[in-house]
Structure 1
Amino acid sequence: MSQAEQAAHSPEAAWPVSVLNAKVKAWIERLGFVWVEGQITQLSIKPSWKLSYLTLRDPEKEESVQITCNTQLMRALNLQDGDRIAVYGKPAYYSGRGSFSLWVTEIRQVGVGELLARIERLRHQLAAEGLFDPARKKPLPFLPNNIGLITGRGSAAERDVLAVAQSRWPGVRFTVRNTAVQGARAVTEVVAALQELEANPEVDVIIVARGGGSVEDLLPFSEEALQRQVAQMQTPVVSAIGHEPDTPILDNVADLRAATPTDAAKRVVPDVIAEIALIKELRVRNAHALRGWVTTQHQQLAALRSRPVLADPMVRITAGRDEVQRSLGQVRREIGHRLDKERAQVAGLRSQVTTLGPGATLARGYAVVQVLPRDGSEPEVVTSIMQSPPGSQLRIRVADGAITAAAMQTQAAK
């Protein structure tokens, strides 16, 4: 709408409904022809009708669009509710009743091969993002307080899970949420149930169960929206979709894949009889191990008690004391022998010194004459008459003492 039109628009100049519808129709029809893919949820067709109507729904969201097409086109394809189709049409706005629909001129069914190829592409994409990484898998509780179960109402999967779980542990509790497990509503209902159970603090683990089916029936469990929801869950999720050959992407994203709903119940709920038997077996094994340990320790104590050192703890001390005394006596003897030898050697040396010393010479009648210097220095032995001129003070050493004398006269030898 131009500024002039906006300025001119007022309660007094309001558009008639026909003008509004004509303008909306003009804008919508400018979009042109487009290809749209979805799942058939409501199909209205009669041979007598020229036009047929159906609702095309997004398989991952609560959004849909009305489709109008020629009845002959619908009859040629034999379409059914739940079929995945791609339509080629032009958006149309019916101004008479103010309704929007997609006028379709071509319809193509999405084949199983193409769907499987899409699933594989999504599988590779999610794997590259790390959603399949074992490191992000959360462990299951050993004995869950409350198990969330998402499955079809009155389905065999629900009966199998409940029956097997209660036979294994009668006190187990379930919070069951019945949802569509195939068709256009399956993804949105399962995602809503997951969010509800995630918000319940009593739920410790969640099982998503379905008892097999065709490739088309299992398509909701490979939709991206469901995988994103499971990947962000804090509560562990167990995938129990189909049987062994069936591998929807949910099996890869979930924290645990069970081959069947029955297998899921066995993996999540411990067998009370088996656990009690295991406890008994462990008690017996522990008792045997304890008795064996006590016996071994008793034997080791008996062996230690039989050793001489424990029979008489003083044996080692007595033996050590005797060894010290023997060593002490030997040392003393060795020291005595050495002292006697050294004494004899000293006595011999003393006798030699006595024999050769001046004392023995003096004892035979000789004397030692020394001159006493006037300066008070040490006396000198007189060996020449030049050392003791007349008047010199002399000291004469004899065997029993010393005599002080003075030199009266010197006489040279002839």
Structure 2
Amino acid sequence: MPGNDLPKLTVSQLSDCLREIVEMAFPRVIVTGEISGLTRASSGHVYFTLKDEASQIKAVMWRSSAIKLKFDLRDGLAVEAIGGVEVYAPRGQYQLMVERLTPQGIGPLELAFRQLHAKLAAEGLFDVARKRPLPRFPKRIAVITSPAGAAVHDILQILLRRWPGVNVVVVPVPVQGPEAAPKIAAALGMVHRLPDVDVVICGRGGGSLEDLWAFNEELVARAIAQCRIPVISAVGHETDVTIADLVADQRALTPSEAAERVIPVKAEWVQHLDQLRDRLCSSLVALTNSRRKELEQLKKRRALAKPLEQIHRFSRELDDLETRLKQSWKRKLASLNAELESAGRALQALSPLAVLERGFSISKRVPGGDLIQSVKQVQVGDRLATLVADGQILSQVLQVDADDDQQDPASSES
């Protein structure tokens, strides 16, 4: 029968054959496509799919390769993947074992720079409002850089030239390579422990983007933002701009410019202070002369030449006022006394006692004190008190006689 001469294989044998053929045919290839279904395992391995308009292929990037990436992977990113094709026999699938990824249309470092820039900008790490001013006259300056680079020599030379004897401490760190970023970040995190340090210069000389990359690391950027002391970044040349420059409190175009910014020229300040001293002395002399002239003018004034004269004049006026006041009160009292005497005489004329003195008397019932104004108010036997000018007379009614014209008929009959 036809087909009896075909190879007879198990599934495993067929998978092994296909793996050998595929892996031998494509030991290392470059595949372009768009990342999709990105997954990061806790182990650090990265799994994703590379696809184009018509096809797709599974891909994996082991942790040893993934940690070397400078940029972040995300779905939709167009990349160029380098690696070999491998057949995964248990599932009968082939996949691309990625060794290196490069973004399409832009370099990986440039992409990483843009991604980190966007991330930190969104967090506000570049905002001007959070920038701190540098001290005008720093007590001690810390320089975080490589002790073997040209930058540290330029910085020290300029600092000592501008302000001889300035206190500087160099914190040695590598400024490029895999250890640079962690060491720089660690130095920024501990520099506040150094006594009297109140400003930090952090940087290095120029170089390629790869050489300067430590200052584009997120670790360093956050260390600068969290540093307790104001930081001036001085990385590369004028055209070089790093993430560290944007996060720092101030950016210097070069390490030399950082040294010029961080401290003034001592000779210029000495000259400025001398000028201020001369101006102060001149102002004091002019002020003294002006005040002396004013005192001379004051000495000529009569009030200061004869200070007691005014006091004596006021004393005389006070005595005159006192005399006038006494006289006024005497006249006022005399007038009031005259008015009082006149009122007394008027009252005396109206007083019942005055009537008594003219020979009249007043009788009152005893007891009770009712004033007797009519014979009708008394009866025979009533006791009366009669007031005269010099006393009173007690009496008893023996008889009551009324005028004939006013006599009550009943009384007449009795």
Which TM bucket (shorter chain)? 0.5 to 0.7
Counterpart AA for 1:268: V
Match of 1:311 in 2: 307
- Write out aligned runs for 1:22-171 (5 A): 34-35=60-61, 58=68, 88-89=82-83, 108=102, 115-133=109-127, 137=131, 140-141=134-135, 142-151=137-146, 153-155=148-150, 157-171=151-165
Distance change in 2, residues 1:137/1:170 (3 Å): same
1:338-357 CA distance string (max 9 Å, x none)? 22123234334534659982
Classify the secondary structure of the residue corresponding to 2:240: coil
Structure 2 counterpart of 1:269, one-letter code? I
1:357 corresponds to which letter in structure 2?
V
1:270 lines up with 2:267 in the alignment: no
Please tell me whether the aligned partners of residues 206 and 236 of structure 2 are also in contact (alpha carbons under 8 angstroms): yes
Find out whether 1:226 has 2:220 as its counterpart. yes
CA contact (8 A) 1:149 1:207 kept: yes
2:202–2:232 contact (8 Å) kept in structure 1: yes
CA 1:335 to 1:34, structure 2 compared with 1: closer, same or farther past 3 Å? same
When normalised by structure 2's length, the TM-score is: 0.57
Cα contact 1:89–1:105 (8 A) shared by 2? yes
Give 1:167 deviation, angstroms. Answer: 1.0
**Structure-1 separation of matches of 2:393 and 2:59:** 162
Deviation at 1:251, TM superposition (A): 0.9
SS of 1:265's partner is helix
Distance 1:289 1:229 in 2: 50
Q: How far does the alpha carbon of each residue in 1:320-366 deviate from its partner, in whole angstroms, 9 at most, with x for none?
A: 56545544542342232122123234334534659982432x2xxxx
How far apart, in 2, do the equivalents of 1:215 and 1:268 lie? 26
Superposed displacement of residue 249, structure 1: 0.7
Pairing of 1:137-216 with structure 2 (within 5 A): 137=131, 140-141=134-135, 142-151=137-146, 153-155=148-150, 157-176=151-170, 181-182=175-176, 186-187=180-181, 190-191=184-185, 194=188, 200-201=194-195, 204-216=198-210
Give the secondary-structure state (helix, strand or coil) at the position aligned to 1:341: helix
- Counterpart pick for 1:340 among 338, 341, 347: 338
How many Å separate the matches in 2 of 1:387 and 1:198?
Answer: 124
Amino acid at match of 2:154: D
Is the contact made by 1:36 and 1:86 (CA closer than 8 Å) also made in structure 2? no
Q: Distance in 2 between matches of 1:261 and 1:346?
A: 114
Give the fraction of aligned pairs with identical amino acids, expressed as a percent. 31
Shift, 1:274, TM fit: 2.2
Give the aligned partner of residue 357 of structure 1.
355
Any gaps of 5 or more consecutive residues in structure 1? Answer: 1-30, 39-54, 61-84, 93-101
1:255 match: 249
Mapped to 2, the partners of 1:369 and 1:109 lie a distance apart of 142
Contact 1:33 1:88 (C-alpha < 8 Å) held by counterparts = no
**Alpha-carbon displacement from aligned partner over 1:152-201 (angstroms, at most 9, x marks no partner):** 7342x334322221111111244446666456665356446656766655
C-alpha deviation, 1:265, in angstroms: 0.4
Unaligned stretches of 5+ residues in structure 2: 1-46, 48-57, 71-78, 87-95, 406-414
Tell whether the 8 Å contact from 1:34 to 1:88 is kept in structure 2 after alignment.
no
**2: CA distance, partners of 1:347 / 1:380:** 26
For 1:131, what is the secondary structure of its paired residue?
coil
- 1:118-155 CA-partner distances (Å, limit 9, x unpaired): 31321221233343355654554423335324147342
Give matches, 1:14-25, under 5 Å: none
CA contact under 8 A between 2:138 and 2:199: conserved in structure 1?
no
- The offset of 1:89, in angstroms, is 2.3
Q: Provide the secondary structure at the position in 2 that maps to 1:357.
A: helix
Alpha-carbon shift at residue 267 of structure 1 (Å): 1.7
Residue deviations 1:211-240 (CA, integer Å, cap 9, x gap)? 445555543321223223333433443211
Change (3 A) 1:297 1:333: farther
Q: CA deviation at 1:250?
A: 0.3
Q: Highest relative contact order (Cα 8 Å, sep 6+), 1 or 2?
A: 1
> Does the aligned pair in 2 maintain the 1:86–1:107 contact within 8 Å?
yes
Deviation at 1:404, TM superposition (A): 7.6
Number of equivalent positions: 326
The alpha carbon displacement at 1:403 in A equals 7.4
1:320 & 1:301 partners in 2: Cα distance?
A: 32
